[in-house]
Amino acid sequence: MTRKSRRMYIIVVAFTLLASATALVLIAFEDNLVYFYSPTDLKTKQVTVGRSLRLGGLVEEGTFVKLDGGLRVRFSITDGAETVQVTYKGILPDLFREGQGVITEGSLNEKGEFIAHEVLAKHDENYMPAEVIEALKASGEWRGDEEGQTVK
């Protein structure tokens, strides 16, 4: 093997290894991403059953129900255009209430119900997560400018 062909062989092998490593990193990164969806996004986009994602919006008035003695709850999240039913087993944040902004993390089941394993409520009377604000603005339901709500 000549010096030139050996150098070319090393370059090809190095490029192949680099491309393989990059592909593996991207595949691993994709599996760990948790995408944010509004209820409208969830209904219009094809979401894989069981895939971890975040769902954000407002807790719909009159939908909060305690199940199984209170540890399991069911409520609906809306962005004004669409509504998704959420089931959560655990202790809710102190600031959780109907009509307030929340972000839940979990997955869809086969029935189209969102099974949450984490619920995050807004921090104070003026705070709302940026993702929820964008989703509400996109659906035309954002009223924050009138009520003094801002992102902090």
Which tens digit of pLDDT belongs to each residue from 29-66? 876 777 889 999 888 888 888 888 999 999 999 999 99
Distance between CA atoms of 34 and 74, rounded to whole angstroms? 22
Average pLDDT, the chain: 85
Distance between CA atoms of 58 and 75, rounded to whole angstroms? 10
Largest CA distance in the chain: 79
3-state DSSP assignment of residue 77: strand
| pTM of the predicted model over 0.75 | no
Q: How many residues does the chain have?
A: 152
